[in-house]
Amino acid sequence: MSISLLLLVVAVIGVAGYMVGSWRANALAGGRLSNLHSRPGYYGSFVAIWAMLPAIVVLLVWIVASPIYISSTVRAGFPEEVKATSQAEQNLGYNMIGAIARGMAMLSAEEREALFKDGTTARSLLATKGVPLAADPAPYMLKSADDLSRMSRASSTFLSILVVLAAAVGAFFSYRAIAPRFRARNRVEGVMLVGLIAASSIAILTTVGIVASMATEAIHFFNRVPAWEFFFGTVWDPRFAAAGSTDSSGQFGLIPLLAGTLYIGLVAMLVAVPVGLFAAIYMSEYASRHVRSVAKPLLEVLAGIPTIVYGFFALVTVGPFLRDLSEQLNGLVTGDYSNFIQAQSVLTAGFVMGIMLIPYVSSLSDDIITAVPRAMRDGSLGLGATRSETIKRVILPAALPGIVGALLMTASRAVGETMIVVLAAGVAARIQLNPFEPMTTVTVKIVSQLTGDLEFTSPQTLVAFALGITLFFITLCLNIYALYIVRKYREQYE
Amino acid sequence: MSQVSTSPTTAALGAASKPERRDIGLRGRYAAERRFRLYGMAAIAFGLIFLFLLLFSVVSKGYTAFQQSMITIPVEFSEQIIDKDNERATNPQKLVSANYPVVARNALAKVLGVGEDDRAGLRAVNGMISDSVRTQLRDLVTANPSIIGTTQTVTFLAHGDLDSAFKGQIDLAVPENNRKISDKQIGWMNQLAESGALSKHFNTGIFLNGASSRPEAAGVAVAAVGSLYMMLIVLVLALPIGVAASIYLEEFAPKNRFTDLIEVNINNLAAVPSIVYGLLGLAVFVNFAGFPRSASLVGGLVLTLMTLPTIIIATRSALKAVPPSIRSAALGLGASKMQTVFHHVLPLAMPGILTGTIIGLAHALGETAPLLLIGMVAFVADIPSTPLEPATALPVQIYMWANEAERAFVERTSGAIILLLVFLILMNVGAILLRRRFERRW
Amino acid sequence: MNMMSEAAVEKALDKKMNDISYKMIGKDVSVYYGDKRALYDVNLNVRQNTVTALIGPSGCGKSTFLRTLNRMNDTIEGCRVTGRITLDTDDIYDPNIDVVELRARVGMVFQKPNPFPKSIYENVAYGPRIHGLAKAKADMDAIVESSLQKAGLWNEVKDRLLEGGTGLSGGQQQRLCIARAVAVSPEVILMDEPCSALDPIATAKVEELIHELRANFTIVIVTHSMQQAARVSQRTAMFHLGNLVEENDTDKMFTNPDDQRTQDYIMGRFG
């Protein structure tokens, strides 16, 4: 039976269990539902759960475990000379055996016999069944493939029996357990609670997954390239070896990428912080309700626009505009019409990213500023302060810790932003101070190292995970610290 | 009285009738006030101006993408060219591999009066026709081989450069050598336009076609289907898991270390850069679990993990907004905690949950970076029929087109952005309507 | 000769009061919050160097009236004031009157102590600083010291002027807020239930302080507690449902009021 059919069977048993269970509960109640501990539906659900849950667990375990078992058994049957070859070669062979086994399943009995008599026909024969082989199979492969297909079939049959049995046994015993005073609802709710807990654990699992997966790949990378060369290297040149370097795979210096990331982030913050902060102040302290109800959502539209759109805007509008502008300026001043701002530059990427960050700064600071109690404003206004004096001398100092937290969160966005810099910052990894020149960032390099053909063994690919985990920790620290500050700040006014 | 007025305590009494006016620097302070106010207005104006500029830039570049220049001329399906030796009965491959572009070129050359021995002229004529004419004519002929030898009126795509020129997007002041289209071709273009053979049609191709290296034939269908699959996966996985997690955290979880850890975790996950989720997807789903690269399934799973924190945070605040009195009322009637939550609290929180979900989905729809890493940046010409087949996504398609150099691709890119923004606007409007319709204040 | 006995000061003040010089005059004052009317044509005069108490059940409009006196109502969206209020001879709702200057002349102390999250010194120096009242550091030090002294707080905080104002106890915080208001040298001080958040001992201290401040300032105080009104004020005004019911000498008010409603309120029949 195929897996989907098996699932269907289990579901049918479950539904049947539900119906039988509720029916039996009704019968036991004898017309008076108050005789029962729980409503009949709970007895039905109880039976259904015990019919389906164990069966599905068995199914999942089997799906994971059986290929591993079969693979190790088949490989154990490989001839000695094959076992002596490298792991990668054996993997290749095993993949081919898998393909042959798939093809064999479609052959008629005569064709199979013909195939075993003359292995050289395998490739052409299987091709007619739509299973292309990369090369003629080695003789041992046919036998292994035969083993494999036999075992897979056995495994499938066995699984079907086991699952149906588990479902039936579960249904039977849970049905037997039904009695008027049986606390079916509590049991069902217990299972539901476990489900809820499992769902919330996914958050933890995701973090564990992020750290574990990136750490594993990053460790592979650090086995090839020393950690200090990565963290303190000032040259990023993953493709070619530098003269005199003993490592032939290139140089993986993080510093130029980090410099670019921070520089572009700085430019972005220089745009976003004053604009966002003043916008937030105006919204929360000056704007009439009418203006606020129009301007606030409009500004927040900026946060809803996908970053790829900002990237495109930077690439085709802002970048060329700045380039042409610099051309004209240069021409007016020196008479030499050559541009001093590159289309892809720190300025372009930073500026556009700054626009993207405006709504983050403004809505976060707006929340913080409105959290300052009204009594502070009244106290200051009651002494005869103007609004701006109240804001500058009372509200902002009171809100400062919260605003710093908000800015740190915004900074972590700037550091992790990808699409704008991919399109607008350039790919040249270098350390320099001219904002009119292109620089590159950690995220740009993650993308460029991982698009295209991948080989999970080369440092050129693995370096992306080292970059990723660096990025993850930078943003993590920024965020935890920011959350801590903001939480402290909120407690102060609660 | 004189005694009194000399006393320091009562000095104020003497002056009480009319105190002197103090100079408290009002003029300067009000100037500062106005300046400060002005900065605020300028900041908001700055943001709004750039919002407008961005949208204007995209729309002005992109609205033409929904029109496509087409050439409608009589085409002679010459047996000479298609099947010179009349072997189509025995070798069907012949019709598939025939040189159809020449058929189209000759037809256009005839209309324009270019001689058959004018090599340069023919090359220029060829440069006005989209390469997609090959498949178009091939499909016509293989569907109905009897048209060979006849002359049919056929409408086919103009070349991307001609399309751009016809839409007036190519600067004709640039010297001829430096632009993609020659003066001669411009002349022909005007000639064709006058005779009505060249005209703009509504561009259905951008909706129906997959990837193509020729801008005039490229469309977003594969990307849209990929995005649709991913949104469905995110909705089916993230909504129930997110709601379940929020219910546990908000209604059942005891206050202890473990739940505190989950709290902090969720807040942090919401702030993890999206590209990190891409790395996670690549390492776990593709490399470890062996799911196919470029498949929308993997994209959907990655986006699910990315969207979960958003949904959880929104759901929790929706649950928090349900007043405790509702819970007490249900519990007081003898409902179990689970019944209280599922029968009373959850339905009341539903509008808030759905609004949060839609906003989360909208974010996922616009997300690009993680999808690049799991290989969804691929040239996929055929619409995927299952989530396991290679696909791209709308924002990724935009990224790929943005990297193309041709002018016509800028137009396509902007057109795709307009489509993406329209989807996002629809989703957000939906969320706002939902909130307006069901918002409840306690 | 320069030093006068307490009794002499009291006497002088009472004599002054008998001359009746009005510091602020409210005529037909009505207040609307949006469509809702909160005050109905109130006519109430505030006498110079007198403590005037505004009493009445909650929601009666006494705080609303208080806030019209220095236009703190302006900060509430949708609030509208009609009628005429003068400070000395200036109509404070005249477009030519500057609200900042008005508030510098009519200071305010709020219900809950609201010191700024700054040092004690900076809290007191805030008003003089924004109004530019002190030219040099020494002037400012003098203002801070004398204000704290007037608020009876100097001895308690003189050694920790640079510590945060929010670290003080509730009663100290309220006296700090009074010092902060005093530092601007206003002519009138408005107090909106200044003791409602304080314990009895702190309340007693603040009441004593109000009593002393009367020498230099005209004070209008809103209070919930009739005992407090009786203790600190010379004039009392009774509000009910947005109307001014009665305004009279405090002594008369609490012994023999003219209006039945005042009588009922004082006897505790409603409120």
Query: In chain A, where are the structural domains located?
Result: 3-182, 236-492
Contact criterion met (CB < 8 Å) for B36 and A392: yes
In total, the C-beta contacts within 8 angstroms joining chain A to chain B are 257
CA distances from B37 to A281, A283, A425, B30, C52 (A): 9, 11, 35, 10, 38
Q: Which one of B141, B167, B201 terminates a domain?
A: B201
> What is the distance of C-alpha B180 from the center of its chain?
29
Q: Which of A64-73, B123-132, C4-13, C163-172 has the lowest mean pLDDT?
A: C4-13
CA distance linking residue B79 with residue A224, whole number of Å? 63
This prediction's pTM: 0.84
In total, the C-beta contacts within 8 angstroms joining chain B to chain C are 56
Residue C138, domain extent: 6-266
In a domain, B148, yes or no: yes
Mean pLDDT score, B149-175: 85
Mean pLDDT score, C134-149: 92
Contact criterion met (CB < 8 Å) for A386 and B32: yes
Dihedral sign from CA coordinates of A284, A289, A291, A292: positive
B426 and B360 belong to one structural domain: yes
- Nearest-Cα distance to chain A for C75, in Å, is 8
In a domain, C271, yes or no: no
CA distance linking residue A330 with residue B32, whole number of Å? 36
The answer to whether residue C27 neighbours chain A at the CB level (below 8 Å) is no
pLDDT value of position B127 = 86
B190 and B245 belong to one structural domain: no
Question: Which stretches within A109-183 are classed as H helix?
Answer: 109-117, 122-128, 139-177
The answer to whether C178 touches C109, Cβ cutoff 8 Å, is yes
Is residue C15 over pLDDT 70? no
B388 and B428 belong to one structural domain: yes
Is residue A307 over pLDDT 50? yes
| Concatenated DSSP letters of chain C | -----HHHHHHHHHHHHHH--EEEEEEEEEEEETTEEEEEEEEEEEETT-EEEEE-STTSSHHHHHHHTTTGGGGSTTEEEEEEEEETTEETTSTTS-HHHHHHHEEEE-SS----SSBHHHHHHHHHHHHT--SSHHHHHHHHHHHHHHTT-HHHHTT-TTSBGGGS-HHHHHHHHHHHHHHT--SEEEEESTTTTS-HHHHHHHHHHHHHHTTT-EEEEE-S-HHHHHHH-SEEEEEETTEEEEEEEHHHHHHS-SSHHHHHHHTTS--
3-class secondary-structure state, position B70:
strand
Contact criterion met (CB < 8 Å) for B26 and C1: no
C222, β-bridge pairs: C54, C192
Contact criterion met (CB < 8 Å) for A416 and B308: no
CA distances from C3 to B9, C7, C39, C209, C247 (A): 9, 12, 45, 20, 35
The answer to whether residue C164 neighbours chain A at the CB level (below 8 Å) is no
In a domain, B16, yes or no: no
The answer to whether A118 touches A71, Cβ cutoff 8 Å, is no
In total, the C-beta contacts within 8 angstroms joining chain A to chain C are 73
- Predicted confidence band of residue B280 (pLDDT cuts 50, 70, 90): very high
Q: What share of chain B is helix, strand, coil (3-state, %, to 5)?
A: 65, 5, 25
B230 and B148 belong to one structural domain: no
**Nearest Cβ partner of C114 from A379, A385, A386?**
A379
- Which positions ≥6 away from A108 have C-beta within 8 Å? none
Is residue B294 over pLDDT 90? no
Closest Cα in chain C to B11: C216
Q: Which residue has the higher pLDDT, A417 or A28?
A: A417
Is residue B2 over pLDDT 70? no
Q: Which residues of C touch B13 (CB under 8 A)?
A: 12-13, 16, 49, 215
Residue B130, domain extent: 69-201
Pairing of strands C22-33, C36-47: antiparallel
Q: Which residues of B touch C13 (CB under 8 A)?
A: 10, 13
> What is the distance of C-alpha A314 from the center of its chain?
26
B286 and B385 belong to one structural domain: yes
CA distance linking residue A353 with residue A260, whole number of Å? 14
Contact criterion met (CB < 8 Å) for C21 and B22: no
The answer to whether residue B388 neighbours chain A at the CB level (below 8 Å) is no
- Predicted confidence band of residue A1 (pLDDT cuts 50, 70, 90): low
User: How many of the other CB atoms lie within 10 Å of CB of B397?
Assistant: 32
3-class secondary-structure state, position A252:
strand
Q: 3-state secondary structure string, B135-173?
A: HHHHHHHHHCHHHCCCEEEEEEEECHHHHHHHCCCCCCC
Q: Return the top range by mean pLDDT from A457-466, A467-476, C127-136.
A: A467-476
The CATH number of the domain holding residue C83 is 3.40.50.300
**Nearest Cβ partner of A384 from C118, C127, C177?**
C127
**Nearest Cβ partner of A379 from C102, C177, C184?**
C177
Q: Which of A94-103, A363-372, B321-330 has the lowest mean pLDDT?
A: A94-103
The rounded radius of gyration (Å) of the Cα atoms in chain C is 19
Q: Which residues of C touch A383 (CB under 8 A)?
A: 103-104, 107-108, 126-127, 130, 180-181, 184
B317 and B428 belong to one structural domain: yes
Residue type, B150: T
B243 and B152 belong to one structural domain: no
Chains with 3+ CB–CB pairs under 8 A to C are: A, B
- Nearest-Cα distance to chain C for A387, in Å, is 10
In a domain, C97, yes or no: yes
Of B312, B360, B431, nearest in space to A297 by CA? B431
Of C207, C181, C219, nearest in space to C69 by CA? C219
Mean pLDDT score, A174-189: 86
Test the C interface: residue of A377, A383, A403 with most C CBs within 10 Å: A383
B245 and B108 belong to one structural domain: no
Closest Cα in chain A to B27: A386
The answer to whether residue B25 neighbours chain C at the CB level (below 8 Å) is yes
Contact criterion met (CB < 8 Å) for B402 and A312: yes
Q: Which residues of B touch C88 (CB under 8 A)?
A: 18-19
Contact criterion met (CB < 8 Å) for C4 and B22: no
Contact criterion met (CB < 8 Å) for B16 and C49: yes
**Nearest Cβ partner of B7 from C4, C49, C88?**
C4
- pLDDT tens-digit readout, B298-331: 999 999 999 999 999 999 999 999 999 889 999 9
pLDDT value of position A249 = 61
ipTM value: 0.87
Is residue B16 over pLDDT 70? no
pLDDT value of position B49 = 96
pLDDT value of position A106 = 75
In a domain, B388, yes or no: yes
CA dihedral B47, B50, B56, B62 (to 10 degrees): -120
Report domain A236-492's class.
Answer: mainly alpha
pLDDT value of position B8 = 39
Average pLDDT, chain C: 88
Closest Cα in chain C to A400: C117
In a domain, B432, yes or no: yes
pLDDT above 70 coverage of chain A, percent: 95
Of A447, A448, A446, A429, nearest in space to A438 by CA? A429
Contact criterion met (CB < 8 Å) for C110 and A397: no
In a domain, B25, yes or no: no
In a domain, B30, yes or no: no
B163 and B225 belong to one structural domain: no
**Nearest Cβ partner of A385 from C105, C130, C181?**
C130
CA distance linking residue B273 with residue A123, whole number of Å? 48
Structure tokens at A134: 């990369």
Q: Which residue has the higher pLDDT, A493 or A304?
A: A304
Test the B interface: residue of A278, A284, A290 with most B CBs within 10 Å: A278
Mean pLDDT score, B199-223: 85
B241 and B358 belong to one structural domain: yes
Q: Which residue has the higher pLDDT, B406 or A461?
A: A461
pLDDT value of position A138 = 75
CA dihedral B1, B3, B8, B14 (to 10 degrees): 20
Of B373, B362, B423, B418, nearest in space to B396 by CA? B373
The answer to whether residue C243 neighbours chain B at the CB level (below 8 Å) is no
Contact criterion met (CB < 8 Å) for C107 and A397: no
Q: Which residues of C touch A289 (CB under 8 A)?
A: 77
Dihedral sign from CA coordinates of B426, B428, B431, B437: negative
- Nearest-Cα distance to chain A for C155, in Å, is 24
pLDDT above 90 coverage of chain B, percent: 34
Write down how long chain C is.
271
The answer to whether residue C88 neighbours chain B at the CB level (below 8 Å) is yes
Mean pLDDT score, B93-116: 84
Average pLDDT, chain B: 86
- Predicted confidence band of residue B386 (pLDDT cuts 50, 70, 90): confident
**Nearest Cβ partner of C116 from A376, A381, A384?**
A376
How many distinct structural domains can be found in chain B? 2
The answer to whether A378 touches C72, Cβ cutoff 8 Å, is yes
Q: Which residues of B touch A361 (CB under 8 A)?
A: none
- Nearest-Cα distance to chain C for A479, in Å, is 26
How many distinct structural domains can be found in chain C? 1
**Nearest Cβ partner of A307 from B368, B403, B414?**
B368
